Amino acid sequence: MKHINFDNKKVLIRVDFNVPLDDQLHVTDSTRIEKAIPTLKYILEQGGTLIVCTHLGRPKPSTDNAKYSTMHLKDTFSALLRKEVKFVNDCVGDVVSSAVAALKKGDVLLLENTRFYKEETEGEPEFSKQLASLADIYINDAFGTAHRAHASTTTVANYFDKYHKGFGFLMDAEVSNGLKVLHDAESPFTAIVGGAKVSDKIQLLENLIAKADNILIGGGMAYTFIKSTGGEIGKSLCENEFLELAKEILAKAGDKGCKIYLPEDSVSASVFGADAETKVVPSNTISPEWMGLDIGPLAVDAFSKVIMASKTIIWNGPMGVFEFEKFSNGTFAIAHAVAAATKNGAFSLIGGGDSVSAINKAGLEDSVSFVSTGGGAMLEMLEGKILPGVAAIQE
Ligand code: AMP
């Protein structure tokens, strides 16, 4: 974006203003709008005129229009930008072309929800072309939707040459930090992978095995691995159909010189619940009626040692059912270890929904190097996939 001349130019910017609204349709958390402000201010300071587009929620085309109108965002957006924001109740068509034609240098126009058109999620070219026709320059600052080949996030970029499109600051930070860990990681590189299911993390593990020196596996997904090596896991989460694959991943990691650590002990529970009776046991001898809901103290120690000796760390997925206090210790202890390693000079990236809420809950979001805002998008990036929204700008 820094190489583009915005002076006297109309700029179509795709942001992620998909914020929560209450019953009265007031914004209850404006974080996503706040995060886009630096990019928007920069373009205005450079003499640009802004045409801002976003999706909001998952409206069913034409039936949910009142509820999901971006008009509900206008006042919050205007207050945060400290500037008048104009609104037009469509995102393509004559009414929008007229509103755009009436803009003066430095004006800000917010378009209606792009998902009011099914063509948006279809990435439909004609709709994308209409969006593109509104502006001289296209900027994408919506990393959270960069893994979707939608019209306003991807296809629209095809109608701008490489000198007239770019990433906003948010998107740029996400992409460069993601690429840094994937292609430029200082060794030892440790990936911490947790969460509920192995099936959700297979591609992530396959990609990381080839890159990381260590992978620490926690959370519910660890038990499929433990069972695959002959462990007794009681009623812990297990995906039996993935036992073979778990074995293969362990073998493949060995071949590639990537060390996989499974939790030596677990906090096991009598039932799945906040008030369950608990006992700490070796992870491979969990009683038949019990289930592992957190990594135990030996695992915390072993994992923390590896983390403290690392120079690059990525973390995706909690170590246990951290929503329940009794089973949150492992996740928070790992959060503290990542923060301590960062203080020692490691680069740490927290990517993916629940590890982001865990680091926030631990109050450590400022003690790690980068917290990704794009759950699914960052997961796909770490899986080694090319994100369509990123590729469309780089082409
Ligand atoms: P994911 O979205 O795959 O990262 O999974 C996050 C969810 O996994 C959280 O809601 C956790 O409560 C859950 N989880 C983590 N560890 C376990 C476990 N040992 N047993 C059951 N669920 C777990």
Report the distance separating Cα 143 and Cα 359, nearest Å.
20
Nearest CA to ligand 1 atom 21: 220
Does 47 share its domain with 22?
Answer: yes
Q: Given 141, 172, 203, which residue is the final one in a domain? A: 172
Q: Report the pLDDT averaged over residues 337-350.
A: 97
Predicted confidence at residue 60, as pLDDT, reads: 81
- E-state strands within 181-318: 189-193, 214-217, 232-233, 259-261, 265-269, 278-282, 285-286, 291-295, 312-316
Residue 2 belongs to a domain: no
Instruction: Note whether 202 and 160 are same-domain residues.
Output: no
- Tell me, what's the pLDDT at 170? 94
Average pLDDT value for the chain: 95
- Residue 101 in any domain: the answer is yes
Q: Are 11 and 43 in contact (CB under 8 A)?
A: yes
Ligand 1 atom at minimum distance from 196 CA: 8
- Looking at the chain, the whole-number percentage of residues with pLDDT higher than 70 is 99
Does residue 353 register a pLDDT over 80?
Answer: no
pLDDT at 158: 96
Q: Total domain count for the chain?
A: 2
Percentage above 90 pLDDT, the chain = 92
pLDDT tens for 258-279 read 999 999 999 999 999 999 999 9
Catalytic residue of the set 41, 129, 180, 197: 197
Under 8 Å CB-to-CB from 88, ≥6 apart: which residues?
Answer: 95, 96, 99, 109, 110, 111, 112
Confidence of residue 357 (pLDDT cuts 50, 70, 90): confident
Indicate if 361 and 261 belong to the same structural domain: yes
Kindly state the average pLDDT of the residues 88-101: 97
Q: What is the pLDDT of residue 391?
A: 95
Considering the domain architecture, whether residues 287 and 308 belong to the same structural domain is answered as: yes
Distance linking the first and last C-alpha atoms of the chain: 15
Is residue 62 predicted with pLDDT exceeding 70? no
Whether 197 is a known active-site residue: answer yes
Would 387 be classed as within a structural domain?
no
Assigned domain for 1 exists: no
In this structure, is residue 246 part of a structural domain?
yes
Residue range of the domain that includes 148 = 10-172
Single-letter code of the amino acid located at 229: T
Is there a single domain that holds both residue 15 and residue 135?
Answer: yes
391 within a domain of the structure (yes/no): no
> Which of these ranges, 50-54, 85-89, 221-225, 354-358, has the smallest mean pLDDT?
354-358
> Is position 32 annotated as part of the catalytic site?
yes
What is the structure's pLDDT at 66?
Answer: 86
- Residue 352 is predicted with a pLDDT of 76
Give the position, in ligand 1's atom list, of the atom nearest the Cα of 194: 4
Burial 315-338, CB ≥16 within 10 A → b, else e: bbbbbbbbebebbbbbbbbbbebb
At residue 61, the pLDDT reads: 65
Do 377 and 257 reside in the same domain of the chain? yes
Instruction: Judge whether residue 63 has pLDDT over 80.
Output: no
Beta-carbon count within 10 A of 158 CB = 16
Decide if pLDDT at 64 tops 90. Answer: no
Of 172, 197, 214, the one marking the end of a domain is: 172
Q: Are residues 271 and 166 in the same domain?
A: no
How far does residue 237's CA lie from ligand 1's centre (Å)? 9
Is residue 130 domain-shared with residue 259, that is, in the same domain?
A: no
Comparing 373 with 299, the larger pLDDT belongs to 299
Model confidence pLDDT, tens digit, residues 132-190: 999 999 999 999 999 999 999 999 999 999 999 999 999 999 999 999 999 999 999 99
pTM attached to this predicted model: 0.91
Is 375 or 22 the better-scoring residue by pLDDT?
Answer: 22
Active site residue 376: yes
Q: Are residues 211 and 348 in the same domain?
A: yes
Q: 100 and 226: one domain?
A: no
pLDDT in tens, 192-206: 999 999 999 999 999
Q: Is residue 178 part of a domain?
A: no
Q: For position 224, which CATH number holds?
A: 3.40.50.1260
Same domain, 56 and 195: no
**Are residue 162 and residue 190 in the same domain, yes or no?**
no
Please report the pLDDT score of residue 269 as a whole number: 97
Tokens at residue 303, please?
């994992």
pLDDT at position 355: 87
